[in-house]
Structure 1
Amino acid sequence: MTIKLLGIGKTDDPALQNLTEVYIKRLVFYNRFEFELIPDIKNAKNLDENQQKQKEGELLLNKIAASDFVVLLDENGKQYSSEAFSEFIQKRLNSGLKQLVFIIGGPYGFSEDVYKRADAKISLSKMTFSHQMIRLFFVEQLYRAFTILKNEPYHHK
């Protein structure tokens, strides 16, 4: 199974980008992992919030196959402990899926079409974080999940 993380726009802060890359490099030792960023919408300032979400949604949906299991990283999603998230990952690994896709929306979230396509929603926190910071938090938690599954000492109870 391939795990893919989709996001909108580039990371402006080099420190965040570097830390994210540290965990991406670690992940490849556990599982196939892809990180794909869709460029920001051009002339977004001329669009209202819903128009921007719609355009971003179209771009995101074009990157998803019909057979993909799609998980939105969404503030209204289910919250997991690190151990429970590792169990979520293990169940998907055991299911025979070809690809598990996690999606981080743009600054205004997701379009209705993206919500309709989603198979699950996960919230990393009740707090709000920038979509750029969520990239780092997610790849760290995914790495942590794999170390839990392998009984490695990274995670402390």
Structure 2
Amino acid sequence: MLRISIICVGKIKEKYMQEAITDYSLRLTKYVKLNIIEVPEDQSSDTNKRIENECDAMLHKTPSDAYKIVLDLKGKELTSEKFAEQINKIPLQGISHIVFYIGGSDGISQLLRDKADSSFCMSKLTFTHQMARMILVEQLYRAMKINNGEKYHK
């Protein structure tokens, strides 16, 4: 079974977001083994240091055999269908673990971008990192439904 990890900065503070993430996570158990790994928000007063520390913490939690995807405003925007197609192609390369990175409110480091195998942008709109996590989990579920030819996506 494909393993997917979402490595992200901070905790979900809003109850409704956590409920949605939990709901979609449970739905995903039919298709993948999902693991959400939270690293703490860095408290440094220097923004660059904060970004560097948070990204280092995410990299430290990354399995060496994983295919790494960073959510990045500089990444390519994908439709839900293209996203599903990309997810479907990764196991065909003999890879059984995908890691998604979601940075904190200050963004991500260039080092994290460089270490990633690919990147994508959810939207040109700005979302909180908590909202990005909720949307990613929903899109992963949508991708599984698309890839399995099941009803959900229209």
TM-score, structure 1 normalization? 0.93
Provide Cα deviations, 1:69-105, integer angstroms capped at 9, x if missing partner.
1100111111111111111011012221131100000
CA separation in 2, counterparts of 1:24 and 1:97?
Answer: 21
Structure 1 position 40, deviation (Å)? 2.0
**Contact 2:71-2:120 within 8 A present in 1 as well:** yes
Identity percentage over the alignment?
A: 35
RMSD: 1.1
Provide Cα deviations, 1:124-144, integer angstroms capped at 9, x if missing partner.
101010000001100000000
Q: Which residue of 1 aligns with 2:6?
A: 5
Q: Which residue of 2 aligns with 1:154?
A: 152
Q: Which moved more, 1:32-41 or 1:9-18?
A: 32-41
Structure 1, unaligned runs of 5 or more = none
**SS of equivalent to 1:15:** helix
**Contact 2:40-2:54 within 8 A present in 1 as well:** no
CA separation in 2, counterparts of 1:67 and 1:149?
Answer: 23
Provide Cα deviations, 1:42-75, integer angstroms capped at 9, x if missing partner.
xx1x421101001101101101133221100111
Q: Which residue of 2 aligns with 1:76?
A: 74
Partner amino acid for 1:130? T
Q: Which residue of 2 aligns with 1:126?
A: 124
Query: Does 2:140 match 1:139?
Result: no
Q: How many residues align?
A: 153
Partner amino acid for 1:38? V
CA separation in 2, counterparts of 1:109 and 1:39?
Answer: 14
Q: Which residue of 1 aligns with 2:33?
A: 32
Runs of 4+ in 1 over 4 A off after TM superposition: none
CA separation in 2, counterparts of 1:138 and 1:85?
Answer: 11
**SS of equivalent to 1:129:** coil
CA separation in 1, counterparts of 2:17 and 2:32?
Answer: 22
CA separation in 1, counterparts of 2:55 and 2:101?
Answer: 11
Partner amino acid for 1:22? D
Partner amino acid for 1:9? G
Partner amino acid for 1:31? V
**SS of equivalent to 2:120:** strand
Provide Cα deviations, 1:10-68, integer angstroms capped at 9, x if missing partner.
01101111111100110111111111111222xx1x42110100110110110113322
